[in-house]
Amino acid sequence: MTVRLALFDCDGTLVDGQAGVCNAMEAAFADAGLPLPDRHLVRRIVGLSLPQAIRSLAPDASEAQQAEIDLAYRSRFRASRESGALVEPLYNGIAELVAALAVDGWTLGVATGKSMRGLEHCLATHSLTRHFTTLQTADQHPSKPHPAMVQAALAETGARCEDCVMIGDTAFDMAMAQAAGVRALGVDWGYHTTHELMQAGAETVATSPAHLRELIG
């Protein structure tokens, strides 16, 4: 039996998590005594693993300072999640899309720069956990665009490259799909532009969850 696997990025694709990321990153930089990063730049690194994101935002900081930011970010983000202050709303139409794909017989997964704890909390908050078979996160694998997350999802589900599609809002997602040899579909409601997605290898870019379902096929 052919396994058709649809892998989703999380922040910027399933949920709009930018506020929580930006708030925690600003607090972490402040804790480390460094100038706050531009929010536009922070949004653009969403999807990378935390260490790589911090290196991008603070390239001139010492390794010790980068490590301090890393620890502070994790602490701040966890505190926000545990206090109930964290808001990661689903994009309109995503819940319906996920349910429809499951009914259509797709095996669903997530490949994200989030931690496993953060991803599980996010999916549970929106009652989506039951729909996803494979969860691949930054605390298990190298950062995007390394293909490890996709490769692990393929191995875990038994899907072939030609029967897998990676769906995301950043060039990192599209480049990861290209590196893994699977289809790459972009979405235009996230943090990178349509032009950037196409340049990174997107087959095409969806303009809504309903459009995305048509493109997935």
User: What does the alpha-carbon distance between residue 78 and residue 149 come to, in Å, rounded to a whole number?
Assistant: 23
pLDDT score, position 47: 85
User: What does the alpha-carbon distance between residue 77 and residue 22 come to, in Å, rounded to a whole number?
Assistant: 10
| pLDDT over 90 at 4, yes or no | yes
Which residue type sits at 185?
Answer: L
For 14-71, write each residue's pLDDT tens digit: 999 889 999 999 999 999 999 999 999 999 988 888 999 999 999 999 999 999 999 9
**Model confidence band, residue 143 (pLDDT cutoffs 50, 70, 90):** very high
Task: Write out the catalytic residue numbers.
Answer: 9, 11
For 83-118, write each residue's pLDDT tens digit: 988 889 999 999 999 999 999 999 999 999 999 999
State phi, psi for 4 to the nearest 5 degrees: -100, 120
Instruction: Give Cβ neighbours of residue 188 (< 8 Å, ≥ 6 apart).
Output: 169, 194, 197, 205, 206, 207
Average pLDDT over residues 66-87: 93
User: What does the alpha-carbon distance between residue 92 and residue 90 come to, in Å, rounded to a whole number?
Assistant: 6
Structural domains of the chain, with CATH: 5-16+88-216 (3.40.50.1000), 18-83 (1.10.150.240)
Which residue type sits at 207?
Answer: T
